[in-house]
Chains A and B, each alone.
Chain A
Amino acid sequence: MERVRNLFKKKEAGIITIFIIVMIIITIGNNAFLSPANIMNILTTNIVMGIAALGMLLVIITGGIDVSIGWVITIVTVVIGEFSTKVGGNLFILILVACATGAAFGLANGILVAHLKLPAIVATLGTMSIINGLVLLVTNGKYIRELPDYISGLGQQYLFKVEMAEGGFYGFPVIWLFWIGAIVLTWFVLRHTLVGRGIYAVGGNVESAERVGYRPKRVLTFAYVYTGIMAGLAAVVHTGIVRIVDPLAFKGFEMQVIAAVVVGGANVLGGYGTVLGTTIGVIFMGVINNGMVLMHIPTFYQKIAVGLIILIAVSIDVVQQTMKERRMVKVDIKD
């Protein structure tokens, strides 16, 4: 019982409550929502967002932000598109190439933010417009098609495939492994490694972190490089699902990722954020988009709903915090 109560005291409680209410409303509107096929569909369409959000989470915990993430993913898709069509190789090499490319761009952001001490939003804005220009210059805005099977077939591979009698099948999509792997890795890094604890410490208070013995520059650089690696992974999964490389596929993606992370309870001012919250935030946004399709709400209304939900979720979060602080002040006076 104590555990359950603690769960409700957590910051993620607000989003979980809203999440459940929204799910009930959608289920009443269309009971196809809870069908296994639809749930699988929601998860699969949001893997890219989910992986990217994990990277963004680390940066946001440090108190920074990475608006270049959408274009970093794009340039990695272009690189792996060119690499797989021109050089060849196999999936393993391709993942390595993707993560290395992502990490290189992450390192550039990290150096600008950590070593040159540029404000994160401006530095990543700068790299974003440079990468944006580079991508369109190299590709001319054209798609890269006819990718080799090992990458373009990735989205169709299943483990434990079970054929159903009435046609169709259930199975465990291989691409889910990428998401699960990223979740476990990020959780482990944040919870059980020195650099992970350093990320929280630096996000909370740089000076204190430095006095305790963390090296803020290294910690910050790590956060941005990790975001780059996640962007690389997201690029592989995305290419595996859509099977072509579209240079404009991630226009405006960064805002969606930031929104998902924030809705998931991470503090944009730094110092707080969890893998669980972020993942719920991503799924929540996915469920809203999916639910509105199921309830036959015109797509034009979806943005309004998403905007309202971001506003409400963020406001509730802040109001909750303010009330908590007030209560703490009261306790002080009584004592």
Chain B
Amino acid sequence: MKKIKAKSSEVYVLLGVLAAIIILFGVASGGALFSGNILQTFAFQFPEFGLLALGMMVAILTGGINMSLVSTAALAGILGAMVLSNPALDETTAITLGIVVCVGSACLMGALNGAIIACLNVPPMLVTIGTMTLFEGISLNLTEGGAISGFPETFFQVGSGSILGIPIPLLLFIIMAVILFLLLEKTPWGEKVYMLGSNPKVTRYSGINNTAVLFRVYVLSGLMCGLAALIMISRYNSTKVDYGASYLLQTVSAVVLGGTSISGGYGKVAGTVIAILVIQMITTGFNLLGINKLFTDICVGAVLIAVLAANSLKESGKLNFSKKRNLA
């Protein structure tokens, strides 16, 4: 029982940090942070980043990493955009087909990562660096460096419409976060993912098919990229190779900040979601105060190192304690 309490306290600490940041920026901006306009922009902005971070999280939970995240999203977006901007298709077909192609191709790219990582046992970082370059190359080839635009009118709804006052991107993000939460923390499959992350050998010997679990994790990661790509191309009304390029390392920051262990085996969806909000809040707050965007990078880096260092110091304090007890 004690353990569970200790673990959820991490989430509360993060919530506290988030609240402090909101209050800080709220006061500093003279309440402008809470104006409907800013909140509206915020709600439309963070889901694409959030979905990518969730995709990164599942990979990190297994002790891996997915460096190809952003290039997967870019390539999926480009493939989807090629269908969407095809004048030969009528509007409904174009949109349906475009969404299917976008999400489907992202899953396929995830499957490629998963196949190499799970079946050949190649370290995930290397595989995904390889596929990152590969997908980027294919994207460049398809667009020749330019942008694709000219989508059907109704498609903008995906990125800028609302249902019952809730922006569709936000809705999509909430749905995926809840699904991921249920999948990881409430099903046997999720249990396997965590087990695999903490000790693959023991997991293998307890009769779990590591290959199948890992493969699905990377397909899931790809799926998140596909959804993020949908929101991105709809919001920008066009697509290009380097859309979202700055997100890659930020997603790792968000996941680690959210309390997920970078070596796998531990991490909560709630923690990641709050960390995503913290990072996006810092960005929005700095924008609002008119502070140079570069301070955001410095700040996020500093926060990341500070949180980790605090955790590690806490951890080593614990170790010393137990050592002393053993001696006694």
Contacts and interface: CB of A to CB of B under 8 A. Distances in A.
B122 A307 contact: no
Contacts of B256: 119, 122
Interface in A96-127: 112, 116-119, 121-123, 125-127
Contacts of A314: 122-123, 126-127, 130
Q: Which size bracket describes the interface of B in this complex?
A: 35 or more
Nearest to A131: B301
Contact of A303 (B120, B123, B140, B301): B140
Contact of A116 (B122, B130, B309): B309
Which residue among B140, B263, B292, B297 has the maximum number of chain A CB atoms within 10 Å of its CB?
B297
Given A137-B292, A306-B137, A314-B122, A129 B132 contact: no
Contacts of A319: 120
A118 B312 contact: yes
A119 B262 contact: yes
A133 B305 contact: no
A197 B253 CA distance: 33
Contacts, number: 142
A318 B120 contact: yes
B301 A112 contact: no
Given A123-B308, A126-B302, A311-B131, A132 B141 contact: no
Contacts of B120: 315, 318-319
Contacts of A258: 129
A308 B302 contact: no
A162 interface: no
Given A300-B141, A307-B132, A307-B135, A116 B312 contact: yes
Grouping DSSP codes into helix (H, G, I), strand (E, B) and loop, the B interface class, with mixed when no group exceeds half, is helix
Interface in A159-174: none
Grouping DSSP codes into helix (H, G, I), strand (E, B) and loop, the A interface class, with mixed when no group exceeds half, is helix
B276 to A, nearest CB: 16
B93 interface: no
Interface string B125-166: 111011111111110110011000000000000000000000
Which residue among A129, A268, A310 has the maximum number of chain B CB atoms within 10 Å of its CB?
A129
B263 A311 contact: no
A329 interface: no
A310 to B, nearest CB: 4
A134 interface: yes
A136 interface: yes
Query: Which 7 residue pairs spanning A and B have beta carbons closest together?
Result: A307-B134, A303-B137, A304-B137, A307-B133, A129-B301, A133-B298, A310-B130
Interface of B: 65, 67, 116, 120-123, 125-127, 129-138, 140-141, 144-145, 249, 252-253, 256, 262-263, 292, 294-298, 300-302, 304-305, 308-309, 312-313, 315-316
